[in-house]
Amino acid sequence: MSVPSILVTGSSGLIGSEVCLHFHEQGCAIHGVDNNQRAVFFGTQGDTRWNQARLAELIPGFSHHELDIRDRAGVLALVESLKPDCIIHTAAQPSHDRAAAIPFDDFDTNATGTLNLLEAARRFCPESPFIHMSTNKVYGDRPNSIALQELETRWDFADPAYAGGISEEFSVDQSKHSLFGASKLASDILVQEYGRYFGMPTCCLRGGCLTGPNHTGVELHGFLSYLVKCNLEGRPYNVFGYKGKQVRDNIHSLDVARFMWEFYRAPRQAEVYNLGGGKANSCSILEAFGIVEGFTGKRQVWSYQDEHRLGDHICYYSDLTKLRTHYPAWDISISLTETIQEMTDAWTTRLPA
């Protein structure tokens, strides 16, 4: 029996690297695509070469492909040569804020790059599952239209219809997305369309806050990782609006990779899943400060600007019912506090003494 080959874009990033390791542990041959574009988007603090080196060390036979997914000819040639058994697409321009300054780079990476990969898959391996890392920003700021209640340390949904979070039935239309949200929505729709129109096994994973110890968090992307880093360095953390009570659900990168494995083993066509930590793994910024302080013993220094980011969610956590129904072997396995403990340990190791 031949060893399954997996092509992972964004392989040096948080989710991509976790996927590479998890699928390797399941006996797959791993091909990673990454060109350290995160360092271009975010500067030296976003550099992921360290993670590329880590994969080369941990995965025997790991094949790194220095390729920009905007390079259509390069993407087509690579997929034609490999004909992978699965394509897992995690490469992206990931920042809500950064997109407005680089709209062409943002759209060309997120939308056109995804199209390049989809068309390559259709031509050369149409039966291979195509798993796309989408985002909850495809819903724009429409979640802010849900009735909310203000609690001592967080906002929460007041409408009982959303007691379990936001489901995949929620509208993506007529709302403010940010340019990042718009480019990711374009890619999300493309992945669905290739599934429906061409009958390909595709899925979009609309992530909440994806996090974990191997996140190279920066101010514009990677809220929890960057928050932990600020705490350890004694650096002020900037809070933008909503009194610091805005809520996100956080999912460990390993749980994301575990779900991708389940989908790979039993693929479906043109599916969409809200893949986050759910209400149990949700927290506000203020609550996150408290958890991190409990691990580090350092008081979090922070500043407040009474102006929220355009299109930002006041409260968002994922309803995981559909995932759990379709894939009952999967569930959240790592709690929010365990995740923050891991990130604290990781940053303590990586930061200069």
To the nearest 10°, report the CA torsion of 104, 108, 109, 111. Answer: 120
pLDDT of residue 20: 98
The tokens for 175 are 């709302």
Token reading at 230 = 């600020």
Q: By C-alpha distance, which of 210, 216, 209, 201 is closest to 267?
A: 201
Tokens of 291: 């958890």
pLDDT-flagged residues of the chain (< 50): none
pTM of the predicted model as reported, rounded to 2 decimal places: 0.95
Q: Are strands 29-33 and 130-135 parallel, antiparallel or unpaired?
A: unpaired
Helix (H) or strand (E) holding 89: strand 86-89
Alpha carbon distances (Å) from 139 to 108, 199, 320: 20, 25, 16
How far is residue 170's CA from residue 254's CA, in Å, rounded to a whole number?
A: 26
Q: What value, to the nearest 5°, has the Cα angle with vertex 182 and ends 187 and 78?
A: 25
**Cβ contact 236:230 at 8 Å:** yes
By the 8 A CB rule, do 167 and 258 touch?
no
Q: What letter would DSSP give residue 108? A: I
Biggest alpha carbon–alpha carbon distance for the chain: 60
Distance between CA atoms of 270 and 191, rounded to whole angstroms?
7
d(CA 49, CA 36): 7
Token reading at 314: 């006041």
d(CA 121, CA 115): 10
Q: With contact defined as beta carbons under 8 Å apart, do 131 and 259 qualify? A: no
- Round to whole Å and give the CA distance between 15 and 131: 12
Neighbour tally for 322: CB within 10 Å:
17
3-state secondary structure of 294: helix
- What residues are paired with 271 via a beta bridge? 203
Burial class from Cβ neighbours inside 10 Å (0-12, 13-18, 19+) for residue 17 reads buried
Q: φ, ψ for residue 209 (rounded to 5)?
A: -85, 110
Distances (CA, A) of 352 to 79, 95, 157, 232, 349: 40, 26, 41, 11, 8
Nearby residues of 274 by Cβ (< 8 Å), 6 or more positions away: 136, 165, 166, 167, 168, 206, 208, 318, 319, 320, 322, 323
**pLDDT tens-digit profile of 58-88?**
999 999 999 999 999 999 999 999 999 999 9
| Single-letter amino acid, residue 201 | P
* Domains of the chain listed by start with CATH number: 5-350 (3.40.50.720)
Distance CA 174, CA 179 (A): 14
State both tokens at 210.
């994806």
pLDDT of 326 reads 98
